[in-house]
Amino acid sequence: MQFADLDLEKSYTYADYFKWKFEERVELIKGKIFKMSPAPNRFHQKIAGNIHARLWFFLENKPCEVYDAPFDVRIPRKSKSDKNIITVLQPDVCVICDLTKLDNQGCLGAPEIVVEVLSPGNNAKELKKKYEVYEEAGVLEYWLVSPQDQWMRVYTLVEGKFKESPYFVTGDLVTSSVLPGFELNLTDLFKDITPQ
């Protein structure tokens, strides 16, 4: 099967997604297919890699684990059965502290922290849908990073709704309510990143 053979108007499940073997990377958001952007540019990869590395070192000997894309995060609704899961995302970086959510396919349930690094290929519809899914699923913190404009925002779940931070920019230290003691220095994060 080729990607072009899929009916983009149809709704799909993780059971369908799991069978696909085409080259294009896709995500399922509420049953609809979203083709992921072509391979991210080098700055996107550098930012995601730097965040992953800082989290990995911070989490050493702590009861949480960090993963980076490609890594399937399946968001169940009523049932954890593959045929009932209609949302499968691949965040750039995610932190899981409830290790019972981890299995051989990735993460089944909401990570505590999700990091998405924006690419020129991201569109507003995709970003809005991901925001809604992460909020509904109970992601405790959603970090959105723009290498292009060199800012970061943190959306923190408060009583079931995301509360957004101000924009963090070079010179700021970003902390996490989920990971007390963790600091992300944006001067270091954006060092050597040239906006395009």
Rounded distance, CA 190 to CA 47, Å?
Answer: 7
Rounded distance, CA 19 to CA 28, Å?
Answer: 13
Amino acid in the structure at residue 81: S
Rounded distance, CA 146 to CA 119, Å?
Answer: 8
Rounded distance, CA 52 to CA 46, Å?
Answer: 10
* Listed ranges 22-31, 89-98, 117-126; the one with the highest mean pLDDT: 89-98
Domain boundaries, the chain: 41-189
> Is residue 162 exposed (0-12), middle (13-18) or buried (19+ Cβ within 10 Å)?
middle
pLDDT tens-digit series, residues 69-83 = 989 999 998 777 778
Q: How confident is the model at residue 139 (pLDDT cuts 50, 70, 90)?
A: very high
Domain 41-189 of CATH type 3.40.50.1240:
no
Residue 114 contacts residue 139 (beta carbons within 8 Å): yes
Q: Look up residue 167 and give its two tokens.
A: 């924009």
**Residue % of the chain over a pLDDT of 90:** 61
**Residue % of the chain over a pLDDT of 70:** 94
Q: How confident is the model at residue 196 (pLDDT cuts 50, 70, 90)?
A: low
Check pLDDT > 70 for residue 38.
Answer: no
pLDDT at 81: 79
Query: Which comes out higher in pLDDT, residue 121 or 162?
Result: 162
pLDDT at 169: 96
pLDDT tens-digit series, residues 141-179 = 999 999 989 999 999 999 999 999 999 999 999 999 999
Residue 115 contacts residue 51 (beta carbons within 8 Å): yes
Rounded distance, CA 177 to CA 38, Å?
Answer: 33
- Rounded to two decimals, the pTM is 0.87
pLDDT at 1: 67
